[in-house]
Structure 1
Amino acid sequence: MNKKMTFEEAMTKLNEIVGRMESGNESLETSLSLFEEGSALAAFCYGKLQNAEQKIKQITEMKEAGGEKDA
């Protein structure tokens, strides 16, 4: 997996993998490979979401702290 991949690209690829696996047309070997790739993509997306959530918390806390000083 490309570390420079965006969240949106990873989600698109993950959705493609899910679709292929749900189709039931893949061999066991291919399904295992897809599952492994999908798991890595899911972890990547989760990490991106965690980072975004942390940034939002920091911005919110800074805004609240600034608002208290102005009051």
Structure 2
Amino acid sequence: MTKTRTFEETMQELEVIVRKLEEGDVPLEEALTYYQKGMELSKWCHEKLQHVEEEMTKVVTDSKTGKNEE
């Protein structure tokens, strides 16, 4: 079963990872795992933001040209 994640949930998870890594009390192997997961979450957030930006640009462009979607 795959849960659909939200941007906000993903950012919260990323913030927890960053906090743990900044504390510096994490064993090296665990830190590497956290870092890899953090990079994955960061990439997901970046891609999500890019998609939203593209959608917003389309909405603005369509409203300026008078195009409407159903």
Q: What do the CA deviations read for 1:34-67 (whole angstroms, capped 9, x no partner)? A: 0000000000000110010000000000000019
TM-score normalised by the chain length of structure 2 = 0.89
Q: Which has the higher contact order (CA 8 A, sep 6+)?
A: 1
**Distance in 1 between residues matched to 2:3 and 2:43, nearest whole Å:** 12
Structure label with greater radius of gyration? 1
Aligned-CA RMSD value: 1.5
1:11-42 residue CA offsets vs partner (Å, 9 max, x unmatched): 00000000000001100000000000000000
Count residues with an aligned counterpart. Answer: 66
Distance in 1, matches of 2:8 and 2:62, equals 28
Amino acid of the residue matched to residue 13 of structure 2?
K
More helix by share: 1
